[in-house]
């Protein structure tokens, strides 16, 4: 009887989990169908360490759920990936980001926006067509769009499509960044196959500055590797002035993190950029 009771309550628990999952999935589907009406984009500045200037932003998606409040991307991106919603959602994001950032992007041909891509974008050539059209109909330069992807998304032993998609995007002049660098398990050999110009050093390595003298050499080695490969380097998750100073002294060109600015809506970004210009 105890086992039956346990089984029943586990069943109930599972049922509750599944229905909660389903309703999240259903409202995600509904919102995407309504032209992504409940989604917002927050922009986090990327800073050139030598000059303290903002050279671009990363676009980070937010879901303003009508009853549950703001839901973080880590919770809904995996769901959107599983049921094919990530592709229309990212299409909306790219369109909206370019709209919202028009003054910066068209005013400064060096200003760039970073877009996060999920694995599903690399299984077809649709993204290549989308982006090609986008730059054909605007005066944007492909280099103003940085496509961020982790190693996991691209490398597959049995399918060469992801790598081909990435190579085509790169050949068209879009800039490609390896996101969360150092957290994957592919070793270093993959770097030679990955057509990326930018390396984003994961926050866990930046965290070691000032806290973990034993692990910090790993950060130093990653930066050294990026420099030897003449890649652009962006340090992620910079939270303290010590971390910024250390990275600057090492010659890391770009940084991003709460120390400089948090991700924010476009109105706040505009005010932030204006302040920065005046200081
Ligand atoms: P990510 O691409 O590594 O983005 C950086 C994350 O670090 C963001 O979290 C940002 O808010 C956070 N962050 C920035 N500076 C700091 C800092 O100084 N300290 C700390 N502790 N965190 C910092 P967010 O916005 O919650 O996004 C989480 C992840 O969700 C992203 O990681 C990315 O993998 C994914 N994501 C976000 N937007 C999109 C999107 O439009 N499409 C896809 N496919 N994934 C997205
Ligand atoms: Ca990213
Ligand atoms: Ca990252
Ligand atoms: Ca990430």
Confidence (pLDDT) at 12: 66
User: Mutate which of 116, 154, 181, 209 to test ligand 1's pocket (most atoms within 8 Å of Cβ)?
Assistant: 116
ipTM of the complex: 0.98
User: Mutate which of 39, 61, 64, 73 to test ligand 1's pocket (most atoms within 8 Å of Cβ)?
Assistant: 73
| Residues present in the chain in total | 279
Q: Which residues surround ligand 3, an ion (CB under 5 A)?
A: 179-180, 236
pLDDT tens sequence across 80-90: 999 999 999 99
State pTM to two decimals: 0.92
Residue 43 is encoded by which pair of tokens?
Answer: 């922009």
**Number of Cβ atoms within 10 Å of the Cβ of 143:** 15
Check: CB of residue 117 under 8 Å from CB of residue 152.
no
pLDDT tens sequence across 188-219: 777 777 889 999 999 999 999 999 888 899 99
Average pLDDT estimate for 32-56: 96
Residue 124 is encoded by which pair of tokens?
Answer: 């077809």
Burial category of 4 from C-beta neighbours within 10 Å (exposed 0-12, middle 13-18, buried 19 and up): exposed
> What is the average pLDDT value for the chain, to the nearest integer?
91
- CA trace torsion 29, 31, 35, 38 (10° rounding): -150
């Amino acid at each position: 009887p105890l086992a039956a009771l346990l089984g029943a309550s586990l069943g109930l628990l599972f049922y509750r989990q599944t229905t909660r999952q389903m309703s999240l999935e259903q409202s995600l589907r509904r919102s995407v169908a309504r032209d992504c009406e409940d989604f917002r984009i927050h922009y986090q500045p990327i800073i050139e360490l030598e000059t303290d200037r903002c050279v671009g932003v990363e676009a980070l998606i937010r879901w303003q759920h009508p009853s549950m409040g703001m839901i973080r991307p880590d919770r809904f991106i995996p769901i959107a990936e599983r049921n094919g919603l990530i592709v229309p959602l990212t299409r909306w994001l790219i369109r909206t980001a370019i709209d919202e950032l028009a003054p910066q992007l068209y005013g400064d041909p060096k200003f760039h926006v970073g877009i996060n891509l999920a694995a599903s974008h690399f299984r077809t050539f649709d993204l290549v067509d989308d982006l090609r059209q986008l730059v054909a109909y605007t005066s944007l330069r492909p280099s103003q769009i940085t496509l961020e992807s982790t190693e996991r998304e691209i490398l597959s032993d049995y399918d060469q499509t992801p790598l081909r998609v990435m190579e085509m995007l790169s050949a068209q002049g879009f800039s490609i960044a390896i996101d969360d660098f150092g957290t994957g398990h592919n070793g270093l050999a993959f770097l030679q196959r990955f057509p990326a110009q930018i390396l984003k050093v994961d926050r866990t390595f930046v965290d070691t500055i000032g806290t973990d003298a034993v692990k910090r050499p790993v950060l130093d080695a990653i930066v050294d590797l990026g420099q030897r490969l003449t890649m652009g380097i962006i340090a992620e998750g910079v939270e303290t002035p010590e971390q910024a100073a250390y990275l600057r002294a090492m010659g890391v060109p770009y940084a991003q993190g709460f120390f400089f600015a948090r991700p924010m809506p476009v109105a706040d970004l505009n005010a932030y950029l204006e302040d920065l210009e005046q200081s």
